[in-house]
Amino acid sequence: MRVTLFGASGLLGHDLVPELSSEHDQLTALSIEDVDLRDHARVRDLIRDSRPEWILLLAAYTDVDGCESNRDLAFAVNCEGAVNVAEAAREAGSRLLFVSTDYVFDGSKRSPYETSDPRNPASVYGESKAQAEERLLEILPEVCITRTSWLFGHGGKCFPATILKLAATRPEIPVVNDQRGSPTYTRDLASALVQLCRASARGIVHVTNSGDCTWYDFAKEIVRASGPPAKVKPVTTAEFPRPARRPAYSVMSPASLHAYNIHMPDWQDALRRYLASAPAAAATVVP
């Protein structure tokens, strides 16, 4: 399988590159240093030269709060940049897998979101990704749009790493307890995305680790499993206002993923594996 990957140096790209670097795959891995998605000509030339069967588009402006004050940049990268890739994919006859987000939903639902539920983003970041989804479906009807949430892994900053640092220096950590979603380990996500490509997936697919929790629940499990003596204190979103509104509930139904006979481990199992594979945490993980 010939694959061109945009976003190779990011959190997810860190695990997708080795997942695709096998004797069975020919991978062109591109980072922000290699290409700016806003450069239509450069994007087109790279795709034309690499002649991929699949293009995986991970690259995005993911600073959710930064997007609020940089709306033009958010849409230029997350929407118009994605359109540039889709148009080049259409010209090259390549399939496209686009990584999207739970932030396309407003969080007002109280049961898992289905792929058919209407988009209603509450943040600029969510708007930019939602509009990208709509545009890509118009340009490439066979595009595969994968929505995921609450990513953590070893390729960059993430919630467990932040909690572990805080737990090592503070006796108490306040964490929001009124936002619920599904933590997703980048290693599990990378594996699922490759399986979707091999299955010639199309349409919208929700891809997260199974189960759900609040950020407070997640933090408690991180501290419990890794051993720091810090106490995790539940707080409300109102007590920690941020520029961008987060969905209060963004759990997504796995039905679309199960349709391809792909099943993700639960988030607790994923967290245990993450902690066990982190050199600094390996010696302190509690079974």
Where does the pLDDT of residue 284 fall: very low under 50, low under 70, confident under 90, or very high at 90 and above?
Answer: very low
- Contacts of residue 191, defined as CB under 8 A and 6 or more positions apart, other chains included, come to 19
* 108-136 per-position pLDDT tens digit: 999 999 999 999 999 999 999 999 999 99
Report the mean per-residue pLDDT for the chain.
94
* 33-58 per-position pLDDT tens digit: 999 999 999 999 999 999 999 999 99
Percentage of the chain beyond pLDDT 70 is 97
pLDDT of residue 108: 97
Contact 258, 200 (CB under 8 A): no
Element spanning 181, H or E: strand 180-181
Residue 71 pLDDT exceeds 60: yes
Domain residues of the chain, as ranges? 2-157+183-210+250-265
* 221-274 per-position pLDDT tens digit: 999 998 778 999 999 999 999 999 999 999 999 999 999 999 999 999 999 999
Where does the pLDDT of residue 23 fall: very low under 50, low under 70, confident under 90, or very high at 90 and above?
Answer: low
> What fold does the segment set 2-157+183-210+250-265 form as a domain?
Rossmann fold (3.40.50)
Residue 285 pLDDT exceeds 90: no
Given 61, 103, 113, 125, the catalytic residue: 125
pLDDT of residue 214: 98
Whether 125 is catalytic: yes
The DSSP bridge pattern shows strands 180-181 and 213-214 to be: antiparallel
CA distances from 127 to 107, 140, 206, 262 (A): 14, 20, 18, 28
pLDDT of residue 229: 82
* 179-203 per-position pLDDT tens digit: 999 999 999 999 999 999 999 999 9
The DSSP bridge pattern shows strands 151-152 and 2-6 to be: unpaired
Residue 142 pLDDT exceeds 50: yes
Residue 282 pLDDT exceeds 80: no
